[in-house]
Amino acid sequence: MAPVPYPFEGVIRGRRSGACVEKVVERRQRRMIKNRESAARSRARKQAYTMELEAEVQKLKEQNEELQKKHVYTNNAIDNYKQLVLANYQRQILNLSLFLVPSLSMTMRKITTVNESERL
């Protein structure tokens, strides 16, 4: 049996009989046992809650890692798309310039020819 937290050593305030003293001691012991049981339940609840939070932290870390990988993949895909679009625009500009430069040269020659003939 656990020791009584407040030993009486036979001295009790007021006049109480031996049976009354035993009841007081018994009530204190029951209360102490209930408090210990309650504390144990509280520790068990805290332990379960802590484990639940740790599991959630682990799950969130895994989700975060997966999202970071997707973010890198998406950024790479966007960069590749931008490069393709830029290359396509450059190709279109080159094709257009190859078409327009000879045409422009020919037009300039015609204008020069017309201007020269008008001077004569």
Kindly state whether residue 6 falls inside one of the protein's structural domains. no
Kindly state whether residue 35 falls inside one of the protein's structural domains. yes
Q: Closest Cα to residue 31, out of 50, 6, 65?
A: 6
Kindly state whether residue 37 falls inside one of the protein's structural domains. yes
Kindly state whether residue 25 falls inside one of the protein's structural domains. yes
Residues 6+ apart with CB under 8 A from 20: none
Question: Tens digit of pLDDT per residue, the chain (120 long)?
Answer: 455 555 555 554 555 677 888 999 999 999 999 999 999 999 999 999 999 999 999 999 999 999 999 999 999 999 999 999 999 999 998 888 877 777 777 777 777 776 677 666
- The answer to pTM > 0.75 is no
Distance CA 56, CA 54 (A): 5
Tokens of 68: 């970071």
Q: Do the Cβ atoms of 25 and 8 come closer than 8 Å?
A: yes
Total domain count for the chain? Answer: 1
Kindly state whether residue 1 falls inside one of the protein's structural domains. no
Residues 6+ apart with CB under 8 A from 78: none
Kindly state whether residue 15 falls inside one of the protein's structural domains. no
Give the domain range for residue 29.
Answer: 21-113
